[in-house]
Homo-oligomer: A and B are copies of this chain.
Amino acid sequence: MYRSRPVGNLNSDALSFSSSMDDDVDLFFYDILGSQAHVIMLFESHILTQKEVVDILKGLNQLLSNPEQLNKHGINSSEDIHEMIESAIIKITGIDSGGKMHTARSRNDQVVLDIRMKLRDDINSICSEILRLVRSLVRVAEANVDTIMPMYTHLQQAQLGVLSQYMLSYCYSLIRNFERYYDAFTRINFSPLGACAIGGSSMDIDREKVATMLGFSGIIYNSVDATSSRDFLIEFISICLTTMLDLCRMSEDFILWSTSEFGFIILDDKYSSSSSAMPQKKNPDPLELIRGKTATIQGNLVSISSIMKGLPSGYSRDLQELKPLLWKTSSTLRNSIKIMEGVVSTLFVDKKAAYNSSSKSYAIALDIAEQLIKEGNISFRVAHKVIGALVESASGRGNIPMNTLSVDDIAVVLKKIDFSHPILTSEKIYRTVQSITPENSIKLRHTKGSPNKNEQFFMITHLKNVLYRYENNLEHRIEGLNKMQKSLIDRIKYLIDQEYP
């Protein structure tokens, strides 16, 4: 329809190659809303008559409530949703009214407008899902403040801890991502409309009025910046990647813990898959898929940044490729959080297995070393050496637990490493080792943020407060957008009713 100059039509292969229709469906609603605000402003700026604006508004309402009209009225060979909608409006209202809809506007500013509008909603719904997941994690944490289990570094047992400590660590990380989305929203929430193709317009339009009608906090001022910049997309998708990496880390933990070798948790059957061949299998497929989809979103970030790389200022068609990557990322992320919430809230924790593993573990070694420091005032490095030798000895004897070493066993080790100390005799060390039960290991470690029960409760309370505050903030923001939308719709209705009472 726009082809005022090139002769004939696009080659049909080229058209289907160029078409972004499939990816634009998501923008349909936003494009209509944006166009309605635009024409109302044109009317109030005396560029459209009341009849013209109302005809267009009615036409757009029709399309909105009856999208299949598009196929009837929109020229089939449309390159994108924007062209299709304008074509349909011209068909419905005639060229004299409908042909004015695109006055002082270009696809270049229009498409960024739509993207920014949809992104606001996507961010809000991602934020909701994150808070739901955090709530579930806090719940599981509350139920497991005394589920003692080994904590791992390098996938080797490191120190003893509690399951809730892991759950809470996920919460903190997710909350930081919530904050990033929340900040990013404030940078996205500006209207580019009125920048036109790249250099503005000579029509007497009011950029800020449209922005306000659509709930934006202002306009992207510079017209080149408004149409060329996509930094907000990279910010958004980077946060999506960080969020997926959180989910991916949780998945990796859960996959490991649900092996028969670790055995600390069992996934609910609703979140386990079977095998086509092996009758015994219960596979953590949803978690593996989250891990896989993390890679997909990582790839999308690469694609998006690569699209931008090497482009000069001004809209280039390359930018069209951003849209499918963006919407795919958004929805994958939202679904992944939802699935993870399902996995978490149905998780069965095998407390006994976790405790058994803990009670045989050398992960108490550092606790013992710290006790020796306190008891004997030796330096950490010396204590490290002594306990290292004890572990080596126990391990060499078939990985027996440390508390099965006798006083004599300990004496032999101390001799071997030439350690003698007035207080830290083999008897004393024996008693110290005996005293470090899994329960005591946790109780003794009382530093801020440690697996200690008091600390668990402190963090749980803190996170609940954060949740309460953030849920309120988010609700407030969502309501704000709803209100503006409602008010715009009211205005449209009022205008139409006035004209055709």
Residue of B nearest to A48 (CB): B379
Residue of B nearest to A365 (CB): B280
User: What mask results when residues 289 to 310 of chain A are scored 1 for a CB within 8 Å of chain B, else 0?
Assistant: 1011111101111111111111
A22 interface residue, CB < 8 Å from B?
A: no
A242 interface residue, CB < 8 Å from B?
A: yes
Contacts of A172 in B (CB 8 A): 220-222, 225, 229
Q: A155-B259, A305-B241, A314-B152 are in contact. Are A4 and B270 (CB under 8 A)?
A: no
Residue of B205, B255, B276, B444 near A447 (CB, 8 A) is B205
A248 interface residue, CB < 8 Å from B?
A: yes
Give the CA-CA distance A386 to B95 in the complex, in Å. Answer: 14
Counting every copy of the chain, the complex holds: 4
Q: A154-B315, A362-B280 are in contact. Are A103 and B380 (CB under 8 A)?
A: yes
B339 contacts A14, C-beta separation under 8 Å: yes
Among A27-35, A57-65, A231-239, the stretch that binds chain B is A231-239
Among A195-203, A468-476, A478-486, A488-496, the stretch that binds chain B is A195-203
Residue of B nearest to A5 (CB): B388
A427 interface residue, CB < 8 Å from B?
A: no
Give the CA-CA distance A447 to B191 in the complex, in Å. Answer: 14
A196 contacts B317, C-beta separation under 8 Å: no
Give the CA-CA distance A229 to B249 in the complex, in Å. Answer: 10
Q: A154-B315, A202-B446, A222-B449 are in contact. Are A242 and B248 (CB under 8 A)?
A: no
Residue of B nearest to A199 (CB): B159
29 CB contacts below 8 A, A to B, read A4-B279, A5-B392, A7-B269, A9-B270, A99-B380, A107-B275, A107-B276, A152-B314, A153-B316, A154-B281, A159-B197, A169-B225, A196-B277, A200-B449, A203-B370, A203-B373, A223-B449, A234-B245, A248-B309, A252-B312, A277-B384, A279-B365, A280-B395, A289-B321, A294-B309, A296-B321, A299-B301, A301-B305, A309-B309
